[in-house]
Amino acid sequence: MSRVKAVVMAVAVCGLIAGGMTSPAFAGENGHVAEVIKHAKEGIAHENEAITHLEEAIKGSDNAHAKEALEHAKESMKHAEESLAHAEQAAQKPKGKKK
């Protein structure tokens, strides 16, 4: 059971990192935005790995809390990926004339 708790905690931390890394994307120049996007992608990769480990850890388990944690981790992943997509769109230079 402690392994499941550890994996749940890892997923939560990765979710915070992946989701939170895109917020500063609007604060700086394109170099800063690119760096934030890079870190967000790394965070999403780590969260994917954590979800995989959580799925393996609860396989065959009847622990409702662990299964709910897995569902929340998957939901968190969707939000992180959406945040990353928005950050990538924001990093693109607008087309057309500058005023």
pLDDT greater at residue 45 or residue 96: 45
Query: H helices within the chain, ranges in order?
Result: 2-20, 30-58, 64-91
Say whether pLDDT at 91 is over 90.
no
What value does the mean pLDDT take over residues 73-96?
A: 87
Q: Within 10 Å of residue 87's Cβ, how many Cβ atoms?
A: 21
Mean predicted lDDT score pLDDT of the chain:
80
Helix (H, G, I), strand (E, B), or coil: what is residue 62?
Answer: coil
How far, in Å, CA of 28 to CA of 17, rounded? 19
Per-residue tokens: 75: 């939901």
Query: What pLDDT band is residue 15 in, cutting at 50, 70 and 90?
Result: low
pLDDT tens digits, one per residue of 20-67: 555 554 555 577 888 889 999 999 999 999 999 999 999 988 999 999
Q: pTM (2 decimals)? A: 0.62
What value does the mean pLDDT take over residues 73-82?
A: 93
